[in-house]
Structure 1
């Protein structure tokens, strides 16, 4: 299903001076109301956001009503919280149980942060001069696929890129996979879930980004002086914006140092290849455009669409935005006084 541009929808009731409201929305032919009914979405704020951003329906799920234990895994504050097993879907949005909602804001917020950065970088590349584009092509980057993608579509994909992470984490750490979704990696699981939902073809093509450890690492080619890079600019952009954001922007070197520390399951040579791909892309952008790309990412202004979605994450459970998204407000302290 090809994306079609639609109107902006209702304006968010927030001070314009605090949030950038420029937005582009697409209708992917996603049956939003069917997902709302299937997963019993009752909160009006969540329902509104799903209609404004249809791909977020892929993040809905059904969760068990009773806890099967406690864990402090994936909790930066190391607070041990009850485990509620996922029964169906993704289970990353529309969560009504406060304890459950406090377990998953990290990966959900990560997706929104990478979406913000992808939106920014894709818009940057859409504004290249012919000379700048030629310089990227001379450096070995292909604009195949990039020319046919709108920044808004890329942003929407990155919002839901990690839709299988809860399923994967529950199977790997809690020994539970009630959903029955198969896959040998988060990327494969994500692809299978998107196929099940008959997701837009753009998303089915881009889900390879979620499987960068297995699928994309094999696409890297040799550059100068032992470096590596992804030849397709779409792969280079989307992996870079993913790697330079955890819960807030993080430099490549620091991110990969952390990955080497806590992702012992990824071979060192693959991490070396991926880091080199990110470094090559970053240095090429900085050289051709005369900017500091990471500094630009840190200085992206806050977008209304992101605030609205974070607000909707919290709404059904009643958890506070500043509690579950502290890094977001640390990056954007000007938002601290906005209504939750």
Structure 2
């Protein structure tokens, strides 16, 4: 686009025409990840249906300032083994990671991890780490459409086993309470998976004022009538007490107690967040920890019976309570 300058000359206009196109380039590359797609179902035609997601077997990664001889490549593969499915990932450093998952669509544990292994090389058979997990559900969630079961029948690990590069195995057992996925007991075992090291027991605050309630569970949001609705603050899994026992299962090693919301709130619109003023104290929100007591055994240097050591810890929120003479 041109313009007429003084004296009849021409000049370049700083404003481009409406139809003028500028040059657009890729710019400077900072990071690039390229996937190969050997299987592209539905892509042969623009209107073809996509019967499956595109798959890939490797990813090449590059970035600005790379100082390696070639771009690192990560390899992927999936192998169907009947009741299980095995996925493999080979990292650029040659380390291979395998995961076996439940592939039985009729199982309550369909799709969940069964075992994972880490190998130091791409083709070796001696893992440097291996772990397994056993799962537990209270029942089939399809048989409880209204979620009357407070665990929601969700899958939860009941035992994990971990093996090192020498094949030595340690294990952990888990048990759960009535509500949600609350672990009420955890027992850890040493090599061999049967020698108990210690146990941890937990108690939770499951009062209705914290959990709330779920009403109209059997209805839908769009049915035009009642609809599912939660009431209450929905504060879940608040620990009230955690106790650790020694290998004998009876000797208490440590215990920590928690208490919540022991004071009522006083509304003060003029107090703000600063909580200033003589005698002003901060008050907790719902579910805020305000008192913690820890009991732990302490050895006595003179050889006497160990005593219990008590620790207290307070944590407050930004709410304020003022002395009565300032109300």
Q: Which has the higher helix share?
A: 1
- TM-score above 0.5: no
- TM, length-normalised to structure 2: 0.23
Compare CA radii of gyration and give the structure with the larger one: 2
Q: Give the TM-score normalised by structure 1.
A: 0.22
Structure with the larger strand share:
2
